[in-house]
Amino acid sequence: MADEHTLGTGHARPATPLRRMTARDRTELHRAATPLELFFDLCFVVAVAQAGLQLVHKVAEGHPGLGVADYAMLFFAVWWAWMNFSWFASAYDVDDVPYRVVTLIQIAGVLILAAGVPRAAQRHDFTVVWLGYAVMRLALVSQWLRAAASTTGEERRCAFWYAGGVAACQVGWLGLVVLPEHARPWLFLVMAVLELSVPLRAERHYRTSWHPHHIAERYGLFTIIVLGETISAATVAVQSALDESAVLGELLPIACGGLLIVFAAWWIYFAVPIHEHLASHQEGFLWGYGHYLIFASAAGIGAGIEVAVEQATGKAHITASAAAAAVTVPSALFLFTVWLLHARHHKRGVGQLTLPVSAALVLLCTAAGRLAVLTAGLVCAASVAVGVALTTWQSRTAAA
């Protein structure tokens, strides 16, 4: 077991000046997210909000393809930096002074990145984004080098592979700054594959000791924060629309439907104890990587609601169906991805089909035009109700 002073309790405690960075015990009890990790997540959502705002502008202007492509690239940078830190912290969080300082430097990096998002989305100038990403990634490299200095054998080689891979990829991302604009999407695809390959190569012979319950909690907390940002963005959009015009009849279905979608998203995500499924590293990798779609679609729902509000008030020069799709597509993607990563491992019988069918029905709601968001919200609420009813019935049947 880990020493008492290294146990994650979720409460603030005095930082030790310096501690040897050794691996945490994967079976330790009462492992929870720390206040530093919660602060880390909160600051990352600033960048998520900036990416979502740029998506709103592009879709509202009638350029959904370009908006989604830019959003996917920028969100990847935010998600990947967050994910790498979260898994590293689950295995090596010693919570001493150097560890805290380097983590705060990573937070500074994401704030720099967030400041560069508008320039990257509007002018395709990735200089500030690359600089912020470099601050985050080089700080993580220093953490891995520190872990390597405190370990031996295959564990040390694993840490060196991580440090070298992250540093090499950061050099590769410089192409977004120096290459011609038409070559950057292809560079992104290549670099994304290389980034995703670093953990797979580094952990070929040694598996880091990440904690299943801690990782599940970290991902759940970030999901909550992203959904909260979605509600915040939608609320601001509705408030701004009400301040400028009296179109309550147009906004009420959007607001109610959007709220139902977000509430259902929360319920569906936390309906199963997913940490029980994260028994192996292969499952952990697939689950962790798949959350790119969960996080991106959750944030995309908020952007879509903003687009729907702007279309209803005449600010967006797009059709009602296009505005509806801005909500229904990310909502359906969220439902399907949560089913793929979570629910299918726990649901039985007919319950296996609830979320895929709901995702398809949400997409069909696009045809409802101005009532699409409300209709999609009702479908999501019905999906939750059906899931609860099936789970209750199956539990009673099993107990009989």
Query: What pLDDT is stored for residue 343 in this prediction?
Result: 67
Q: 10 or 45, which is more confident?
A: 45
- Is residue 193's pLDDT more than 50? yes
Three-state SS sequence of the chain:
CCCHHHCCCCCCCCCECCCCCCCCCCCCCCCCCCHHHHHHHHHHHHHHHHHHHHHHHHHHCCCHHHHHHHHHHHHHHHHHHHHHHHHHHHHHCCCEHHHHHHHHHHHHHHHHHHHHHHHHHHHCCCHHHHHHHHHHHHHHHHHHHHHHHCCCHHHHHHHHHHHHHHHHHHHHCCHHHHCCHHHHHHHHHHHHHHHHHHHHHHCCCCCCCCCHHHHHHHHHHHHHHHHHHHHHHHHHHHHHHHHHCCCHHHHHHHHHHHHHHHHHHHHHHCCCCHHHHCCCHHHHHHHHHHHHHHHHHHHHHHHHHHHHHHHHCCCCCCCHHHHHHHHHHHHHHHHHHHHHHCHHHCCCHHHHHHHHHHHHHHHHHHHHHHHHHHHHHHHHHHHHHHHHHHHHHHHHHHHC
Query: Averaged over 98-127, what is the pLDDT?
Result: 93
- Is residue 320's pLDDT more than 60? yes
Query: What pLDDT is stored for residue 130 in this prediction?
Result: 95
- 185 vs 193: CA distance, rounded Å: 13
Look at the domain 212-399 and name its fold: I/LWEQ domain (1.20.1410)
Query: What pLDDT is stored for residue 271 in this prediction?
Result: 82
Confidence of residue 275 (pLDDT cuts 50, 70, 90): low
- Is residue 10's pLDDT more than 50? no
- Is residue 170's pLDDT more than 60? yes
- 135 vs 57: CA distance, rounded Å: 28
Query: What pLDDT is stored for residue 166 in this prediction?
Result: 96
Q: 330 or 394, which is more confident?
A: 330
Confidence of residue 240 (pLDDT cuts 50, 70, 90): confident
Query: Averaged over 186-195, what is the pLDDT?
Result: 95
Query: Averaged over 220-233, what is the pLDDT?
Result: 89
Q: Which of 69-78, 139-148, 236-245, 379-388 has the lowest mean pLDDT?
A: 236-245
Confidence of residue 205 (pLDDT cuts 50, 70, 90): confident
Query: What pLDDT is stored for residue 276 in this prediction?
Result: 66
- Is residue 179's pLDDT more than 80? yes
- Is residue 317's pLDDT more than 50? yes
Q: Which of 79-93, 186-200, 263-277, 369-383 has the lowest mean pLDDT?
A: 263-277
pTM: 0.89
Query: What pLDDT is stored for residue 14 in this prediction?
Result: 62
Query: Averaged over 230-239, what is the pLDDT?
Result: 82
- Is residue 144's pLDDT more than 80? yes
* Domain boundaries along the sequence of the chain: 22-202, 212-399
Q: 11 or 53, which is more confident?
A: 53
Mean pLDDT, the chain, as a whole number?
87
Query: Averaged over 96-117, what is the pLDDT?
Result: 94
